[in-house]
Structure 1
Amino acid sequence: MSEGKSAADELQQHLQRLSNAFALRLQEELPALGQDAERLLHAAEQHEQLQHLQSLRDQLHKLAGAAGTFGFSSLGQRARELEQEADQWLQTLQQEQQSLQDFIGNLQQLATQQYQAESTQAPATQAAKAPRPSSNARRIYILEDQLAIGENMRLTLNNFGYQAEHFTRIVDLDAALQQQLPDALIVDVNLPDEELTGLAYAASLQQRLDEPLPLLVITTQNDFATHLEAVRVGAMGFFTKPVDIPQLENRLERCFSQQQGEPYRVLIIDDDRELASRFSLILRGANMLVEMLHEPADIFECMRDFNPEVVLLDVSMPDCTGPELAQIIRMNDEWLRVPIIYLSAETDIGRQMNALIKAGDDFVTKPISDNALVAAVFSRAQRARLLSNALSRDSLTGLLKHADIKEQAAVELERAQRSGKPASVAMLDIDFFKKVNDSYGHAAGDNVIRALANLLRQRLRRIDSLGRYGGEEFLVVLPDCPADQAKRILDEIRQRFAELNFIASGSEFSVTLSAGIASTADAPTSSGDFLEKADRALYAAKHGGRNQVR
């Protein structure tokens, strides 16, 4: 509790310093606003009036968005009202001179008054944080009253590298839950010998827990009512019998990656540095990685290096507007998946729609509460990551597809050459895989591929990249890893894979793998050369007797 409280206090102190800095900024900006009002008053030509009005409107627009965020609510409201008046004057300069003088007088009054922040609320970001598990262990409990089905599921999931336990009765599952909570729960809907259905039991269990468990449902009932009941108890997956266990395991892995994934990356583009800093603090407090960009011309380098999952973009910026910058981002196919959220004090629906039509995905009006900001960014980032994974990952293994893992190898080679740090790539191939398919069927072959994919995920680091390069061939990219270290890691994986026992058609069998490694110490001239060296090492391992790493 003390650590959480101190972190909250520190965040609050940061926010207060930003509010204080904004208050100091007002001491310069408000008098400057009054001076601009004087220039408008003495402008003789209509084009001069238009120039001064446009400048005033832009200043009021920024003030309306920023003031409320920093706690100066009445100032923000007044600035918004005057901004709307300025818009009216820009649309038509046919008003009476006395009305214009009244407007100027109001601006001058605003410049001379003293404003205090009505309230600076502490950011209530705790509730918006994504839940994070305390352990990387993946223990799965299965509630299935049919012994053969439950045991087959348990054995297959164990082959995939999980610690699965099967229970045929609720009372036995309850006893296990008292001892240790699993990382996920698989429940059969139909339990004819129990008083409760599987879904009713899951609902009561989730209510008893401090945090709900990831829940997958298996059933013979593929109707809307059962789907709806499953959603209402918090199910994250729905599978009809006979269950496709590799697909079920793929959904399990997706649940875990949502829980244990890297923090979402957010890029804030705003020429108002204090406001961008405040948004950055709020989002970092919600466990997101944030970069700020104040110069639109730096967009290409920033997008390439930071690779954001969400872009928060101010609409009104000097020299380059938000919609213009959004269109520049959308011209690059690599960034089409990145959602763009406009942040602006703009309240005119027509202008909002015009900005979204040009490029953009959402529009958030400033001032915005801390919780609303976190929720808007989190929901967009979560959806973007799920979509990106679905498009770039192999459906059987959940690993990167051929083109994406090759691209990752190129990125790491370029980074290693630039930094001077070592990097390695490894090609892995399952030995005599055709015999597995011929002897036990393609379903068994798929299980072997999934088991190796899962073993690689569990044994390698988060910074490593894994991909399915071909049918039974895998590519592993290991940044900051010399060849000897890569060989030790891959050899451990080779030994562990050979120890797995697979069951198919009543028979038990095991499989081995071979691997070839190349490193930047081999001085590859290109990413293609890098992969070719690893492929030659794999070829040597195959012809050297298989079940080895070269």
Structure 2
Amino acid sequence: MVEPSNPTSELQYQLQLLSEKFAERLAQELPELASKARLLQAADHAAQLQQLRDLRDQLHKLAGAAGTFGFASIGQRAHELEQQALHGLEGPGLKDQDLQAFILQLQQFAAQGVQSESAHKSPARPKTPAKAETHLRRIYILEDEASIGESMRLTLGNFGYHAEHFSCIADFDAALQRRLPDALIIDVNLGDAEQTGLAYAAALQQRLEQPLPLLVITTEDDFATHLEAVRVGAMGYFTKPVDIPQLENRLERCFAQQQGEPYRVLIVDDDHDLASRYSLILRSANMLVEVLESPSGIFAAMSRFNPEVVLLDVNMPDCTGPELAQIIRFNDDWLRVPIIYLSAETDINRQMNALIKAGDDFVTKPIGDNALITTVFSRAQRARLLSIALSRDSLTGLLKHADIKEQVGIELERAQRSGKPASVAMLDIDFFKKVNDSYGHVAGDNVIRALANLLRQRLRRVDSLGRYGGEEFLVVLPDCPADQALRILDEIRQRFAELHFIASGSEFSVTLSAGIASTEQHALDAGELLERADRALYVAKHGGRNQVSQS
């Protein structure tokens, strides 16, 4: 890290050093928690209480300090575990089932707590390619038919969520008082309830400080019920029998909208002061903005910045806005990017002429700050959803075959430039045909979705995940040597084998095999890297399956 010269940067530099020092402390303390968790399991009642007191004290310190140093989610998770320990101390102790769950959570927290957050705080010095602590999304289901609600709870559990099912409004309300979930799934028709699920949801959302993502399930498929669902803020509508993989896919989209990356906006305007103002306004709305004052730089800016919206001034010297828009549209890779004209032009015919040539919207200057933000945000949001829909596999939400293959080439070039290794892994579900033959294609789809969700949870945001075909997946891990990739993929293999699926009244589990190739072996091109990963997968398959092999 280069030491800065101005006072503000110096302060940030020193704070960063303290955060990194605290990260090193976490790297020591968290394994200690795992050791204490193992001792807790073997202890008698008196020793167990003492171990709980020690754990509670250590968790309390972590909960208080972690957020101060920028590790907010670690602090929150430590606080939650501290409360569980406190519950065991105040009562007769933790019951066997609760104790086992507490120990497992402690071990998961210890193993995963600091990894991604420390990498995020100091991207120039990543400590590990593994993802941060796994936050199991908490989903509350209000469904009066026990069989439907329990089936939904179990299936969402297989997808990696912490789902809880409630048959009546009173129990649902009591759970909300104890802890708010990350999302709600509410049935419209609640049998003997005095109000419909939608009426209850409307009252609930009004009394919450921040409305929760809401999905509606119902036997009704009429326009009036759809309209009522929209009016209570539903983000998804599913008729029974509910397609759970589709419902889970919508949940992922809801969470992605909440925590997605900032929208990227490119402003092309030769008026420096005006462009700077637009940039300031959009940045204040948490958007990433670049300003281009000369249209001739459009190719480099589009390729490097990859904007999701382009704002064009109509009247610029040497090249007008509509002319530049047509140049942008020559490139098929940029067809999805919305183009918004900004101009003082009020003549409707000229505006229409500009839009007919190329463009998606026309905003007349002067435009209010809120109007500018709303216009750009709505276009960017739509563009991102469309881009995701076109590039993502409909079943898993992961990149499609062509897109994930492209990522291999991108990361190989980056690794060659930076000198930092990247790894590629091919994963294949073992004996997948038997799953389809024995339990049906719906069960097979659930298995595929569960693995996709597990990969998303266990890997970093910078990692690229794709469905390569059928039951085969491809993972691209930047800045990750082969030995680390092997550890990460083997942990995923173990976690996947522990999942339990239910279909046709039967419970079953599935395993996977994986093959890893790394740029450390100096691959000449992406094709060679993929071929080596495929050969390693072949070795794993023919070596007995349920294992990870390295080329």
Relative to the length of structure 2, the TM-score reads 0.74
Moved more, 199-208 or 343-352: 343-352
Matches within 5 A, 1:199-218: 199-218=198-217
CA offset at residue 350 of structure 1?
Answer: 1.6
Match of 1:227 in 2: 226
Q: Deviations over 1:110-167 (max 9, x none)?
A: xxxxxxxxxxxxxxxxxxxxxxxxx954110000000000000000000000000000
CA offset at residue 419 of structure 1?
Answer: 2.5
Aligned partners of 1:483 and 1:239: how far apart in 2? 43
Match of 1:434 in 2: 433
Match of 1:359 in 2: 358
1:309 lines up with 2:335 in the alignment: no
Contact 1:513 1:547 in 2 (8 A): yes
Match of 2:518 in 1: 519
The residue type paired with residue 443 of structure 1 is: V
Aligned partners of 2:294 and 2:543: how far apart in 1? 56
Aligned partners of 1:349 and 1:316: how far apart in 2? 16
Contact 1:497 1:513 in 2 (8 A): yes
Contact 1:215 1:234 in 2 (8 A): yes
Matches within 5 A, 1:13-52: none
Match of 1:189 in 2: 188
Aligned partners of 2:433 and 2:300: how far apart in 1? 46
CA offset at residue 508 of structure 1?
Answer: 0.8
Match of 2:70 in 1: none
Aligned partners of 2:158 and 2:510: how far apart in 1? 12
Contact 1:465 1:476 in 2 (8 A): yes
Match of 1:275 in 2: 274
Match of 1:381 in 2: 380
Q: Deviations over 1:495-525 (max 9, x none)?
A: 1101000111111111111111112112111
1:506 lines up with 2:508 in the alignment: no
Contact 1:137 1:183 in 2 (8 A): no
Match of 2:62 in 1: none
Aligned partners of 1:304 and 1:379: how far apart in 2? 23
Aligned partners of 1:520 and 1:276: how far apart in 2? 42
| Gap runs ≥5 in structure 1 | 1-134
Match of 1:164 in 2: 163
CA distance 1:189–1:305, change in 2 (3 Å)? same
Aligned partners of 1:291 and 1:532: how far apart in 2? 39
CA offset at residue 414 of structure 1?
Answer: 1.8
The residue type paired with residue 356 of structure 2 is: I
Aligned partners of 1:194 and 1:172: how far apart in 2? 12
CA distance 1:391–1:431, change in 2 (3 Å)? same
The residue type paired with residue 197 of structure 1 is: T
1:541 lines up with 2:540 in the alignment: yes
CA RMSD in angstroms comes to 1.2
Contact 2:136 2:160 in 1 (8 A): no
Match of 2:456 in 1: 457
Q: Deviations over 1:220-262 (max 9, x none)?
A: 1111111111111111111111111111111111111111111
Moved more, 472-481 or 160-169: 472-481
Match of 1:173 in 2: 172
Match of 2:137 in 1: 138
SS in structure 1 at match of 2:548 = coil
Aligned partners of 1:477 and 1:261: how far apart in 2? 20
The residue type paired with residue 193 of structure 1 is: D
The residue type paired with residue 349 of structure 1 is: I
CA offset at residue 282 of structure 1?
Answer: 1.2
Match of 1:258 in 2: 257
Match of 1:243 in 2: 242
Matches within 5 A, 1:481-500: 481-500=480-499
Bigger RCO of structures 1 and 2 (CA < 8 A, at least 6 apart):
1
The residue type paired with residue 141 of structure 2 is: I
Q: Deviations over 1:5-38 (max 9, x none)?
A: xxxxxxxxxxxxxxxxxxxxxxxxxxxxxxxxxx
The residue type paired with residue 488 of structure 2 is: I
Contact 2:221 2:239 in 1 (8 A): yes
Match of 1:445 in 2: 444
Aligned partners of 1:522 and 1:435: how far apart in 2? 36
CA offset at residue 454 of structure 1?
Answer: 0.5
- Work out which of the two has the higher radius of gyration on C-alpha atoms and give 1 or 2: 1
SS in structure 1 at match of 2:163 = strand
Aligned partners of 2:347 and 2:411: how far apart in 1? 46
Match of 1:51 in 2: none
| Gap runs ≥5 in structure 2 | 1-133
Contact 1:422 1:519 in 2 (8 A): yes
SS in structure 2 at match of 1:514 = strand
Match of 1:319 in 2: 318
Matches within 5 A, 1:71-86: none
The residue type paired with residue 225 of structure 1 is: A
Aligned partners of 1:268 and 1:420: how far apart in 2? 34
SS in structure 2 at match of 1:235 = coil
CA offset at residue 422 of structure 1?
Answer: 2.0
Match of 1:473 in 2: 472
Aligned partners of 2:384 and 2:319: how far apart in 1? 28
Q: Deviations over 1:438-485 (max 9, x none)?
A: 111111111000000011111111111111000000011112222222
SS in structure 1 at match of 2:496 = helix
Contact 1:146 1:168 in 2 (8 A): yes
Contact 1:541 1:547 in 2 (8 A): yes
Aligned partners of 1:291 and 1:422: how far apart in 2? 30
Contact 2:426 2:533 in 1 (8 A): yes
Aligned partners of 2:481 and 2:268: how far apart in 1? 38
Aligned partners of 2:404 and 2:500: how far apart in 1? 29
Moved more, 396-405 or 291-300: 291-300
Give the fraction of aligned pairs with identical amino acids, expressed as a percent: 84
CA offset at residue 385 of structure 1?
Answer: 0.6
CA offset at residue 407 of structure 1?
Answer: 1.3
Aligned partners of 2:468 and 2:331: how far apart in 1? 26
The residue type paired with residue 199 of structure 2 is: A
The residue type paired with residue 245 of structure 1 is: I
The residue type paired with residue 444 of structure 2 is: G
Match of 2:390 in 1: 391
CA offset at residue 421 of structure 1?
Answer: 2.4
Match of 2:105 in 1: none
Aligned partners of 1:259 and 1:530: how far apart in 2? 35
CA offset at residue 418 of structure 1?
Answer: 2.3
Aligned partners of 1:437 and 1:423: how far apart in 2? 34
Q: Deviations over 1:26-69 (max 9, x none)?
A: xxxxxxxxxxxxxxxxxxxxxxxxxxxxxxxxxxxxxxxxxxxx
How many positions carry a matched residue from both structures? 416
SS in structure 1 at match of 2:173 = helix
Match of 2:110 in 1: none
CA offset at residue 280 of structure 1?
Answer: 1.2
Aligned partners of 1:225 and 1:391: how far apart in 2? 31
The residue type paired with residue 139 of structure 1 is: R
CA offset at residue 393 of structure 1?
Answer: 0.9
Which segments of structure 1 move beyond 3 Å, counting only runs of 4 or more?
none
Match of 1:339 in 2: 338
